[in-house]
Structure 1
Amino acid sequence: MRKRAQSYLFRDRIDAGQRLSARLGALGDADALVMALPRGGVPVAAEVARALDAELDVMIARKIGAPMQPELAIGAVTADGGLFLDTMMVRELGIEADTVDALIAAERENARQREGQFRGDRAFPGAGGRTVILVDDGLATGATMSAAVHAVRKQRPDWLVVAVPVGSRFACEVIGSEVNEIFCLATPEPFGAVGLFYRDFLQTEDAEVERILEDFRGRGRTT
């Protein structure tokens, strides 16, 4: 029997960002700050920021892996205190509180190092009283996005938006309840993994992230 060809939603992250931008046009009049979740979210967010003529920066969120099962996420953390913890998962796995604290501290330090790499000595962008748009290339569990939302919320933005090309219905519903507005172009079921919906889902390298941020910085559109 002939195998059915895979139907992709997006050619690549640039295509996804351009399509997402078309849905976000109404936000272009606001003093918008676009924050990308590296690495894969940066090319997507760059297209959004270009279309809205908005500032672009990064929000570093790191997954917290379970002990002995690092590929199994029990939460996520940002460099400046944003935290999402799947407490039900932690209980089911029987992870002790001091172990969880150590995992959080380790990933927070990793996030700080990555933030320093991508942002350099620039301060965390001021989000207070502004429209902030958090962008990634997709939402699977929503763990890292939830941590990012928590971090931005602490700065009291006027309007907090999450924008992704594709996501699981569950993750988009959960994240949607945490923000003022969510844009998710597609919520296919069954979901699987984000990369299944892109024809080209090659890993975004650090050098590409740095190049994109430097390009926006040169145009005066990074914080």
Structure 2
Amino acid sequence: MFTDRRQAGQQLAQALAQYKNAPNSIVLALPRGGVAVGYEISLALRVPLDVFVTRKLGTPDNPELAMGALAETGYRHLNMDVIRGYGISSHELEREVDRQRKEIARRVERYRGGTPLPDLSGKTVILVDDGVATGATFFASVAAMRALQVGRLIAALPVAPPETARILQRQVDEAVVLATPSMFFGISQFYEDFPQLEDDEVIACLQKARAALSQG
């Protein structure tokens, strides 16, 4: 469906063309993969790019199964059905929260030099990832944005399951989801090339986006 994250970002940028040069706007991308998508949007729309770090809270026996998510602002989203269903104790939950809090701090330091998020109150925020499955981290990011009192919140995703996309539409001011296939097993199935991005690639995208905007 998509050649790579670059093409996905370019297609999203076309769908978001009305926000080109929009004042008081920012593209916030979820690292790592979302940053490659967000970079293309930032470049095309000439809107600043930054990261918003949110981490999945995995269950003790299956780190890929989300029992919630933690945002860099401290906002915590918990899936109580998973927590109760798998009998996860408060100690196990807090241990995972502490582990992810440390990883969030590491990434904020690495990607943003430890500086806090810019003031987002009243801003138009385009929140970007390279796709969502259950949407745990993305929904936590949406809720965190609401808590920061952003002016307008736009979700921009190349692909999401139909039900996830429907829920998302009710939580944001505008949801731009390019594809909502019913047969959904994982984000990678919708990309021909879907490598894992490294920290250095995330930083390079952020630096190139800043340089492009500064050149006018």
TM range (shorter): over 0.9
- The aligned residue for residue 165 of structure 1 is 158
Counting matched residue pairs gives 213
Report the secondary structure of 2:63's partner residue: strand
Q: Distance in 2 between matches of 1:112 and 1:154?
A: 20
Q: Are 2:8 and 1:13 equivalent residues in the alignment?
A: no
1:116 equivalent in alignment to 2:109: yes
Distance 1:125 1:73 in 2: 28
Letter in 2 for 1:75: G
Query: CA-to-partner distance for each residue in 1:110-169, whole Å, 9 max, x for gaps?
Result: 111111111104331221101001100001110010111122212111101110011111
Any conservation in 1 of the 2:56–2:66 contact (CA below 8 Å)? Answer: yes
Fraction of identical pairs, as percent: 39
For residue 40 of structure 1, what is the aligned residue in structure 2? 33
List runs of 5+ in structure 2 lacking aligned partners.
Answer: none
Moved more, 121-130 or 15-24: 121-130
- Name whichever of 60-69 and 100-109 sits farther off: 100-109
**TM-score, normalisation: structure 1:** 0.90
The match for 1:151 among 136, 144, 149 is 144
Query: What is aligned with 1:24?
Result: 16
Report matched runs for 1:56-71 at 5 Å. Answer: 56-71=49-64
The alignment's TM-score, normalised by the length of structure 2, stands at: 0.93
Opposite residue 26 of structure 1, the aligned amino acid is Q
2:99 is matched with which residue? Answer: 106
Deviations 1:34-86 (A, max 9, x none): 00001110111011111111010001111111012222111111122122211
C-alpha RMSD of the superposition: 1.4
- Using the TM superposition, give the Cα deviation of residue 185 of structure 1 relative to its aligned residue in structure 2, in angstroms: 0.4
Aligned-pair CA distance for 1:220? 4.9
179, 182, 188: which one pairs with 2:175?
A: 182
In structure 1, the residue matched to 2:118 is 125
Amino acid aligned to 1:192: F
**Secondary structure in 2 matching 1:177:** helix
Q: Distance in 2 between matches of 1:130 and 1:39?
A: 23
Amino acid aligned to 2:89? E
C-alpha distance in 1, partners of 2:34/2:26? 14
Is the Cα contact below 8 Å between 2:156 and 2:176 reproduced in 1? yes
The CA distance in 2 between the partners of 1:99 and 1:121, in whole Å, is: 28
Aligned equivalent of 2:205 = 212
For the 8 Å contact 1:142–1:172, the answer to whether it is kept is: no
